[in-house]
Amino acid sequence: MYSYFLFLLILLPFIALSAWASARVNSTYAKYDGLPNSSHMTGYDTAVRLLRKNGVHGISVNRVPGRLTDHYHPAKRQVNLSQSTYGSASVAAVAVAAHEIGHVMQKQKGYIPYRLRTALVPAVNIGSRLALPLVLLGIILDLCFGFTEAAEATTAGQWLMYIGIGLYSLSTLFMLVTLPVEFNASARAKKMLVSEGILTREELDGAGKVLSAAAMTYVASMLVSLVYFLRFLLIVLPFLRRRN
């Protein structure tokens, strides 16, 4: 019980950071969504122009429901812009649209962290479903056969726990790899916005604040994921040490 309360005590600041980051991205976006850009280009216009200027073809730019639900879907070759971005000619809207094109360019250029994150997606999806069942099965085998001569069963239990830990760690690794991917996409976005004359250097300051606020949500998510992984590790390791 004490360890659980200690875990909550450690976790709460990171949850607070996550809530603060989410509130900050919404308030920052709202502030610069009220500031029209000097080129009068919408999020849709920006995405289409940047794709063409970079010689990228065969990718559609679509409107999707919601606010700040923008994302690039590489498998479907779609840049999906939220309702708040697609038709808005604000500094915030073009910043978000350019950020998504930044992801497109990462794929086009073979940016290594982006390729690694993409490769991790199937493993993370599988790991999130199998990690806990495998660890529980390993613990059950270890408890049932740990004090008998069934060495094979106890060894299998240990290996199941190791595999479960490895699978669980993939989600934290995914969040860690996501950080350079997001920061790099924002850097590409700012460079493209200025080079293509979509934003002035003065307006770029506001765009940078929007993108930095969004990046903080990923930092907070990574830290929360790390705390959960460490908690998971502390629960499982005593069973492994007991056998060793």
What digits encode the pLDDT tens for the residues 156-179? 777 888 888 888 899 999 999 999
Question: Given pLDDT bands bounded at 50, 70 and 90, which one contains residue 53?
Answer: very high
pLDDT grade for 121, boundaries at 50, 70 and 90: very high
Q: How far apart are the first and last CA of the chain?
A: 25
Higher per-residue pLDDT: 224 or 7: 224
- Written as six digits, the tokens of 46 are 């920006």
Least confidently predicted of 10-24, 130-144, 205-219: 130-144
Encode pLDDT of 67-98 as tens digits: 999 999 999 999 999 999 999 999 999 999 99
Would you state the pLDDT for residue 242? 58
Question: In this structure, are residues 190 and 204 in contact, taking their beta carbons and an 8 Å threshold?
Answer: yes
**Could you tell me how many residues make up the chain?**
244
Spot the catalytic one: 100, 149, 182, 202.
100
| 24: its two tokens | 């900050």
The residue assigned the tokens 């094109």 is 101
Q: What is the pLDDT of residue 4?
A: 64
* pLDDT at 52 > cutoff 90: yes
Residue 22, classed as helix, strand or coil, is helix
Query: Average pLDDT of 30-41?
Result: 95
Tell me if 160 sits within 8 A of 142, measured CB to CB.
no
By the 8 A CB rule, do 67 and 154 touch? no
100 is catalytic: yes
Greater model confidence, 201 or 49: 49
| Residue 175 DSSP symbol | H
Element (H, E) at 109: helix 91-109
Q: Which has the minimum average pLDDT: 9-13, 82-86, 116-120, 207-211?
A: 9-13
pTM of the entire predicted model? 0.86
Helices (H) and strands (E) in the chain, counts: 7, 3
How many Å apart are CA 190 and CA 15, to the nearest integer?
Answer: 29
- The pLDDT score that the predictor gives to residue 155 is 73
Q: What pLDDT sits at residue 154?
A: 58
Tell me the average pLDDT of the chain. 89
* Amino acid identity for residue 61 in this structure: V
Q: Is the pLDDT of residue 202 over 60?
A: yes
